[in-house]
Amino acid sequence: MNHDSNLPGLKTRQVTRFVLVHFTGEDSSTYEHIKQSHLDEGEPEIGFHFIITTQGTTLMGRHISKTGFHYPELDDTSIGICVIGNRDEMSDEQSIALTLILEKLKSDYPSLETVKYLYKKH
């Protein structure tokens, strides 16, 4: 029987030091597009832990306890959130959703050192 924890890329994260908030930029990415791009790169599932849609809906990605696939240098020590769109053009719903996730994570992971904001490279 194959358990998720035995799949490549799905090891349990041992230390949580950072939350990385990614913004997709101007493109029209969707959860499905992001998931497919991660599958195309050989991952068994989407690499972000949370995705916030343009409407402010929070979608669950990879299980929060698992190592993500979103920023290679920090995957082993971070939780990844992907916000569809630009930071300076976030809707009120997106802003509220992001704030609620960050507050919950700060409460659940007292070892968090910082939140880093990352923008799509053009």
> Domain residues of the chain, as ranges?
10-119
| CA–CA gap between residue 11 and residue 57 (Å, rounded) | 27
CB 101 within 8 A of CB 50: yes
In the predicted structure, residue 9 carries a pLDDT above the cut 90: no
C-alpha distances in angstroms, 107 versus 39, 92, 111? Answer: 31, 23, 10
CB 24 within 8 A of CB 80: no
- Comparing 87 with 120, the larger pLDDT belongs to 87
pTM of whole model > 0.85?
Answer: yes
The DSSP secondary-structure symbol of 18 reads: E
- Comparing 77 with 28, the larger pLDDT belongs to 77
**With respect to CATH, is domain 10-119 assigned 3.20.10.10?**
no
pLDDT in tens, 18-64: 999 999 988 778 999 999 999 999 999 999 999 999 999 999 999 99
Secondary structure class of 59 (helix, strand, coil): strand
